[in-house]
Amino acid sequence: MSQGKIFLVGFGPGAEAHMSVRALEAIKESDVVIGYSTYIRLVKNLLDGKEVVRKGMTEEIDRCVQAYEHAQKGKTVALISSGDIGVYGMAGPTYEVLLQTGWTPDSEIKVEIVPGTTALSAAASLVGAPLTHDFCSISLSDLLTPWPVIAKRLDAAGRSDFVVALYNPKSGRRTRQIEEAQRILLQYRRPDTPVAIVKSAYRNLQDIQRVRLDEMKDCNIGMLTTVLIGNSSTFMQEGLMITPRGYRNKYDGITGQTLEGEKRGRSLSMGLEGWKTCIRQYLREHEAQSLSRVAAHFDCPIGEVLSAMAEVDADDAAGECLSARLPDDRIPEIFSEIKQWGALRAVIRNEAGAVSELFINAGDLSFSTAQLKIENEHFHLHVDLSTLMSGWLLRRADRLRGIYFLNSRGETIFNLSLLRTQGEFDSQGLQQFDRLWRELDYREQEDRAVNE
Ligand SMILES: C[S@@+](CC[C@H](N)C(=O)[O-])C[C@H]1O[C@@H](n2cnc3c(N)ncnc32)[C@H](O)[C@@H]1O
């Protein structure tokens, strides 16, 4: 008996013209074709002389089991799916079923995945070029995925400015998911963000709507629809939805010349190597701006601004700002030293964005590994330090001496700065701070070593 084989075939959005040559061959080579009844209908011209197994939408695992059973009998089986079979398709469940039977890639039954054009690229091709920058796909189906997981992904996509492709956006029973998706994304996107709603791409009933994000939930959306939601730079012009690649960050749109400070074939000045230099330049030009405003300007956590300040050199200063990272293993010891710092301003941020600003005496502070407590006769404040990741000293000319404690995302948990009265820092606090600074500021240490 010949060895069985399972083809996992993605046949694209629907029309035969968009099916790959390998998908056509795989179906041709197969003795048995298994699929959801609509899919079988879409490839009916290719099924002459074949055993055809039509299954309902909910019988997915059954489709995999049947494919395996036919392959065990030595047959070549095509398990077919629209789009790409690995994208919200049958490839995953089939491998899971096979592995449960003890099958391995070295077993007699061979498995070949035939990739296909997935719905998001089919839909995109019909409306312009909405996916030419970073994008993600999110399925709104909560049949197998808890809603909080889907909501978290929508939130992250919104926050990170991804173009978003929504699969399974709506069905007869699932109608509120698209409303919730709109609500979550509108927290981050303009109401007029372009949206393309593509129904039955490359099939008979193809329908395309171009709308704004705030109109999306009231549109005609169904089971066979893919929704493409633009990012902050996507635009709609002449009916085309376009997400720029970013050429305008580097080249003049008319002459094609590279913009000042940029180099052809090299990372942008705001690329990985260069962007901290941009932070330092910005700090030189905005001496009075608060650290949180600088971080907001670069849309980055404060930790990145502090690290840019720590990397200054003579030709690339950060204005009057300097920072030095505390060695992680010294943080507990530094906590106890801070208690000698005298009058302080403490700023504490909670996860929800509330900011408490307190004028305290350093003696009001007590630290344990998991908590900072600020307690005096007026208030008791407890700050969770379980996410504490790094500590930084900050100097800003003779105006500011402070210490920042950040979480793993580089966001401030709390910071303390020496208070000034009539322009003067508390002398004891200043002495303590300067001593610590001299120990930690490696540039000064190096300078001293060279001079000694
Ligand atoms: C279970 S997923 C299957 C995705 C498929 N494997 C793919 O790669 O396109 C079903 C969803 O795909 C999208 N979809 C599939 N075919 C489509 C088409 N021809 N036009 C628009 N959307 C389609 C819809 O969002 C639909 O709810």
Q: In the prediction, which pLDDT does 118 show?
A: 98
Q: In the prediction, which pLDDT does 443 show?
A: 67
Class of CATH domain 5-117? alpha beta
* H/E element, 356: strand 355-361
Q: In the prediction, which pLDDT does 150 show?
A: 98
Any atom of ligand 1 within 6 Å of the Cβ of 130: no
Distance 82 CA to ligand 1 centre (A): 7
Please compute, for residue 213, the number of CA atoms within 13 A of its CA located in the half-sphere on the CB side: 27
DSSP string, 277-324: HHHHHHHHH-TT--HHHHHHHHTS-HHHHHHHHHT-BTTB-BTTEEEE
Q: pTM of the predicted model, to two decimals?
A: 0.86
CATH 1.10.10.10 matches 320-451:
no
The dihedral of CA 304, 306, 310, 311: what is its sign?
A: positive
Whole-number Å distance between alpha carbons of 377 and 218: 56
Any atom of ligand 1 within 6 Å of the Cβ of 117: no
Q: In the prediction, which pLDDT does 370 show?
A: 86
How many CB atoms sit inside 10 A of residue 34's CB?
24
Residue ranges covered by each domain of the chain: 5-117, 120-242, 320-451
Q: Give, as one character, the DSSP assignment of residue 20.
A: -
Any atom of ligand 1 within 6 Å of the Cβ of 197: no
Q: In the prediction, which pLDDT does 450 show?
A: 61
* pLDDT tens column, 276-293: 999 999 999 999 899 999
Any atom of ligand 1 within 6 Å of the Cβ of 436: no
Q: Give, as one character, the DSSP assignment of residue 328.
A: G
Q: In the prediction, which pLDDT does 2 show?
A: 59
Secondary structure class of 419 (helix, strand, coil)? coil
DSSP string, 72-116: HTT-EEEEEESB-TTSSSSHHHHHHHHHHTT--TTSSSEEEEE--
Cβ-contact 183, 147 below 8 angstroms: no
Low pLDDT (below 50) residues in the chain: none
Distance 450 CA to ligand 1 centre (A): 66
DSSP string, 197-265: EEESTTSTT-EEEEEEGGGGGGS---TTEEEEE--TT-EEETTEEE---SGGGTB-TTT-PBPTT--TT
Instruction: Name the superfamily (CATH) of residues 120-242.
Output: Tetrapyrrole methylase, C-terminal domain (3.30.950.10)
